[in-house]
Amino acid sequence: MRPLLEPLTIDLGEPTENDYACVLENRLGHEVLANLDMGAVFALHSQLAPADLLTAAARAMVKASRKQRPSMNNGASTLNMEVKCALDTGALLASVRETIMNTSAVKPEDVERVDLDHFPGLGYIRDELEKFVLFPLEQPALAAQLGLTPKRGVLVHGEPGTGKTTVGRWLAQRLQGKFFRVGEMMVYSDIIKVFAAAQAAAPSVVFIDDADIVIGGWRPIDGGRGSDVFRFLLGQMDGLTSRGERQQQNGDVIVVLTAQNVHWMAKMLLRSGRIELWLKTQLPAPKEKREILKKYVAEDSGAMNVLGKAGSLPDVRPASQIGDRFCCADLRRIVNDAKLLAAWDHHHTGNAQPKGGAKYLEVAAQAVTDMQNEVDSVTRSIYS
């Protein structure tokens, strides 16, 4: 019987300063290292993939060649040598930051554009973020003069559908290439790379949606050790090197967390010095529900066509009064469902709005309320 053999395991380890130098030397030649401080490059971003490092070097050399404007008499080999020798540490550092902002940061065009004034309670959250986070970041000269520092940690918490993720969309649009996201399915090594990229592009924001689920917490079952991600986040937000020389030179990395249930999050994360700004999202009040329903109908040409009458909005009051737990996501769904119901009836009967736009909204609102009640009933039966 053939004995079982252990698989061959090769541990590549973490990147080093020498690895960065070898990548550039092997691809571009040893002369490219003449004017480079690889320690400074590695300190800026310690998790660069070889392809990203080479891309940054290529961009920096292209810019250097444009500045040099060599004479037309130079041969191709001479020109190539001049370009490589023109690459210096400052140019490469700037190019690394630009590469990271183009490849690792969330692109504003990939995120839905939102106006927080259109969401109940989010106008207040926007104002708080403007004052305590964005103002010090966007006014570096004044911040340096007065010693202003942004809140290093922000927690946006509230019930599902109340706009927590919408705050992230607004920040992504506002920060333009300095917004980094930790996704739900990322493993520990991926999260380290996100923070390394954010530090290289600092000042910046790392956004962790549903953090109470993504990062876990302080678990008594394992002796209070906590998950690797949780302990890594603690170190990033208040470690030995926090507010150190590199952070003072490059800028701050602010961590913005969203959570539904803060009871699952450890006090050591939520204390001042880590989470320094608490912002709570709220369910819309009765008047706000009516205004939001009107907004969703008015902004949807299809909804106006099948629910409105002669260009006028339908009466949204009956639908808004059916449920007292409607969030913005529920109200958007009510409008979409009412539009579908009206279009269905019109398709099968040939009559435009046989029940009237207000009635379709009311029927859709009742369906959402029934679903909420059923979910509550099932949840109670599971956990009772």
Is residue 98 domain-shared with residue 116, that is, in the same domain? no
Is residue 184 domain-shared with residue 242, that is, in the same domain? yes
Q: Using alpha carbons only, what angle is made at residue 176 by residues 172 and 179, rounded to the nearest 5 degrees? A: 45
Is residue 23 domain-shared with residue 142, that is, in the same domain? no
The reported pLDDT for the residue numbered 360 is 94
User: What is the mean pLDDT, run by run of 10 residues, along the chain of 384 residues?
Assistant: 68 83 89 86 88 89 70 49 72 89 87 83 92 92 90 91 91 91 82 89 91 66 58 73 53 88 78 87 90 92 90 92 90 95 87 79 95 84 67
Any domain includes 376: yes
Q: Considering its fold, how many domains does the chain have in total?
A: 3
Is residue 293 domain-shared with residue 265, that is, in the same domain? no
The reported pLDDT for the residue numbered 190 is 86
Is residue 265 domain-shared with residue 297, that is, in the same domain? no
Q: Which residues pair with 280 in a beta bridge?
A: 157
Q: How far is CA 143 from CA 149, 175, 176, in A?
A: 7, 18, 20
Quote the pTM value.
0.78
Any domain includes 184: yes
Joined together, the tokens standing for residue 97 give: 């930051």
Count Cβ atoms within 10 A of the Cβ of residue 58 and give its class: 0-12 exposed, 13-18 middle, 19 or more buried.
middle
Is residue 25 domain-shared with residue 165, that is, in the same domain? no
Residue 318 is part of which domain span? 286-383
Any domain includes 1: no
Joined together, the tokens standing for residue 340 give: 């579908």
Is residue 63 domain-shared with residue 154, that is, in the same domain? no
Is residue 51 domain-shared with residue 160, that is, in the same domain? no
CATH number for the domain spanning 239: value is 3.40.50.300
